[in-house]
């Protein structure tokens, strides 16, 4: 039912632009069949603020937050009168050598805090409330690694916008007024072949990434040289305007299982910007010259979501 709130521009985003945290949980779930499951999921996500407060009050300096993303299929299940203009399912990108896979996901809970126990307890409460209404598709615990480096040894997120540019890059504006203050988000879970990566010299690694390893200085990119990871992820439109996204990537791993990876999560005002980055990485620019980081980093998940403003998220409750 359209109660008239959809025509007003929401003014309070979720915690999209929160500072990088020490710990995080990335929880992706699918909604089970049946109207009751849909109703339960809708009620839980619309009241996520209450759950965050219930856990976060124990240590306000822990800065607990949770962004809720809704996938294209779930948006349809919630039977909303309007739909974010660019919300669509993640489409598999098959390059000549590597593939960006598409995997299921109706809801994303991006939990962040300065204490891992706060993340743990909020995730526990969320899943307890959801119960049998959902099935966990992926659960990943991330951690901040030294001076914001990934497990490949390079600083991650250097190109993130700062200040007022953060909102400009990550939050929907007047172009889609019913969903202003929202953000498109893409998640991918990458597993690294560290022995293969370590077999490369530091100079070879730097050419792949496009930055120096120790001091994180951007390398010059001669026109004739194969593009680096950094260059392939720089998106400039036909008018010469560069489009940024906001990354909150986290390392994850289990040495006992020889599992080492990076959880990519990118927030964007426009979904096509991240889609273009991924096409350039997996297909190549020019075609065939794919991102060489993919020779050691394999994407095992890929899902799109929309993170609505708090106003829109809370309005989901009781909508028939």
Catalytic residues: 156
Contact 59, 122 (CB under 8 A): no
Burial of 304 (0-12, 13-18, 19+ CB in 10 A): buried
Can you tell me the distance from the alpha carbon of 74 to that of 244, in angstroms, rounded to the nearest whole number? 27
Can you tell me the distance from the alpha carbon of 2 to that of 80, in angstroms, rounded to the nearest whole number? 8
Q: Would residue 224 be called left, alpha or beta, if left means φ above 0 and alpha means ψ between -120 and 50 degrees?
A: alpha
Contact 267, 248 (CB under 8 A): yes
- Write the DSSP assignment of 76-113 as a string of letters: HHTT-S---TT--PPPPEE-SS-EE-----SEEEEEEE
Closest to 142 measured CA to CA, from 279, 252, 12: 252
């Amino acid at each position: 039912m359209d109660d008239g709130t959809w025509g007003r521009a929401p003014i309070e985003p979720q915690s999209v632009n929160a500072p990088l945290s020490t710990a995080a949980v990335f929880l992706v779930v699918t909604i089970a069949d049946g109207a009751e499951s849909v109703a339960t999921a809708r009620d839980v996500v619309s009241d996520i603020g209450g759950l965050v407060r219930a856990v976060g009050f124990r240590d306000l300096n822990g800065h607990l937050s949770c962004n809720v993303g809704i996938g294209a299929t779930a948006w349809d299940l919630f039977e909303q009168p309007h739909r974010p203009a660019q919300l669509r399912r993640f489409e598999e990108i098959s390059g000549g050598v590597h593939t960006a896979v598409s995997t299921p996901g109706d809801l994303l809970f991006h939990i962040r805090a300065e204490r891992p126990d706060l993340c743990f307890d909020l995730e526990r409460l969320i899943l307890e409330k959801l119960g049998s209404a959902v099935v966990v598709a992926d659960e990943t615990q991330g951690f901040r690694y030294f001076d914001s480096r990934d497990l490949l040894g390079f600083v991650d997120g250097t190109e993130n916008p700062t200040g007022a540019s953060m909102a400009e890059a990550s939050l929907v504006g007047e172009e889609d007024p019913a969903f202003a203050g929202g953000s498109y988000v893409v998640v991918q879970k990458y597993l690294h072949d560290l022995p293969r990566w370590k077999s490369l010299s530091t100079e070879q690694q730097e050419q792949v990434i496009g930055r120096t390893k120790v001091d994180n200085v951007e390398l010059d990119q001669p026109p004739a040289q194969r593009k680096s990871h950094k260059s392939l992820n720089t998106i400039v439109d036909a008018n010469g305007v560069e489009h940024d996204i906001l990354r909150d990537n986290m390392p994850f791993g289990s040495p006992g299982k020889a599992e080492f990876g990076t959880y990519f999560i990118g927030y964007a005002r426009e979904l096509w910007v991240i889609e273009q980055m991924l096409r350039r990485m997996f297909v190549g620019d020019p075609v065939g010259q794919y991102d060489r980081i993919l020779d050691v980093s394999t994407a095992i998940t890929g899902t799109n979501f929309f993170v609505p403003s708090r106003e829109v998220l809370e309005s989901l409750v009781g909508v028939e």
